[in-house]
Structures are given as C-alpha cells and as structure tokens.
Amino acid sequence: MENVVMFLYDFVLLFLLFYLVYTVFLNKKKKEYSKLKKNDVVKIFIARYNLDMRKTEYKSVLKVVTIINSFIISFTATLILHINNFWLKVAVCFVVIFVLIYSLFEIAGRYLKNKEEQKNV
C-alpha cells in the first residue's frame, strides 16, 4: 500500500511539473494562430484525425496535446523511478511510451472529431 501511495505521489508531482513546463515555457508564445500552426505535434494531430479547424479551436487542441504529453512523460518517468533493473527499465519505457502515445492520442482524436461532428448537427 505504501508503494502505491509513493507511486501516486511521484506521478502527481511529475505531472504538475511537466504540465507547468509545457504551459509556461513551450506554449506561452503559441497563443496566436500563426505561431500555433507551426507546432509540429498539433499539425500531425490535426492531419491524422482530419479535424476541421473552423469548428475546433486551436487552443483546445493545444491543451489536449499538452495534457497528453505531460501524462505520458510523467507516467513513464514514475515507472522508471520504481524499477531497479536497467534493461527492464529500457524495455518497459519503450513499450509504455508507444502504447500510451498511440492509445491516448487515438482517444483524444476520436473525442475531438466526435465533438466537431456534434457541433455541425
């Protein structure tokens, strides 16, 4: 039980740290449309899920990408902190990052596409 509490404590701390870094330093200058269009992750996300940006706000897409990236980094880092074997760390990190990237971006993309279609109705 104590390990689970420490895991959650580390995760929350890292998530808040990475979210603040993303929000303050990386997304601070991307409030304008022209600067936001230069963000590669947002461009790939929009193209992959064929989002119509006339119906979806860029800021909401940026927030979703920021939350997902912060979650992936913090969860993976927390797992790495609690594993002792180096090769197991590498293997777990590799697998977890790919699974989280694919699944979380897929869920978020479908959610935003569904929201976009509901606005049109």
Taking only the tens place, the pLDDT of each residue in 20-67 is 988 887 776 655 555 556 667 777 777 888 877 777 777 788 888 889
Higher pLDDT, 109 or 35: 109
Burial class (CB in 10 A: 0-12, 13-18, 19+), 108: middle
Residue 97 parent element (H or E): helix 86-120
Domain ranges across the chain: 2-120
69 vs 53: CA distance, rounded Å: 21
Query: Tokens at residue 36, please?
Result: 């936001």
Output the pTM of the full model: 0.83
